[in-house]
Amino acid sequence: MMSFPKQEEIEVVVMEEGTSPVRIWEDLNIDMLVKIFQSFDLFQLISVIPQVCHAWQSACSDQHLWKTLDLSIMKSNFIRVSIPPYIYVDTPSREKLNRILKICLILSHGNKLTLIFHYNLYVDNNQLTYSAKRYSPNKL
């Protein structure tokens, strides 16, 4: 017989409009939002957080969040082949990396200082060129 842990009761408190002393999240200072967002991973930072509101999207573009673009957790699905370039990367892997690079480069406004790739993430010349062209020219 399977047993399930006892669920705790949750008390729900409904406050009348205008009686809450709590501030609205989107009204938080940008510096505070950035500090909070630094604890999130890259995928939440590019896909979830910017969708919440304009203020959060703006905070996601802060240069402090983009000092390093760490893609070390990404790997490509690939097959080794006997003809140049000796690696075949499947289309979904290539497209996923393209989307992530595009979103990151838009949000960062060219403010990244370091790009980190996993050894098994195959980045083609077009992807590297795309990243380099959108890099802040005064930092090259």
Token pair belonging to 121: 């993430």
- How high is the mean pLDDT of the chain? 80
The reported pLDDT for the residue numbered 16 is 63
**For range 69-76, the mean pLDDT:** 84
Q: Tell me the torsion sign for CA atoms 92, 97, 100, 102.
A: negative
The burial class, CB within 10 Å (0-12 / 13-18 / 19+), for 124 is middle
The reported pLDDT for the residue numbered 124 is 86
pTM of the model: 0.68
Cβ proximity of 139 and 113 under 8 Å: yes
Under the banding of pLDDT at 50, 70 and 90, the label for residue 140 is very low
Judged against a pLDDT cut of 90, whether residue 119 lies above it is answered with no
Q: Tell me the torsion sign for CA atoms 134, 95, 40, 22.
A: positive
100 or 83: whose pLDDT is higher?
100
**For range 106-134, the mean pLDDT:** 83
Token pair belonging to 79: 């097959």
> CA-CA distances (angstroms) from residue 77 to 44, 92, 98, 99, 127?
22, 8, 14, 16, 16
Strands 87-89 and 78-80: antiparallel
d(CA 11, CA 79): 54
The reported pLDDT for the residue numbered 75 is 81
* Interval 22-58: pLDDT, tens: 567 777 888 989 999 999 988 899 999 999 888 899 9
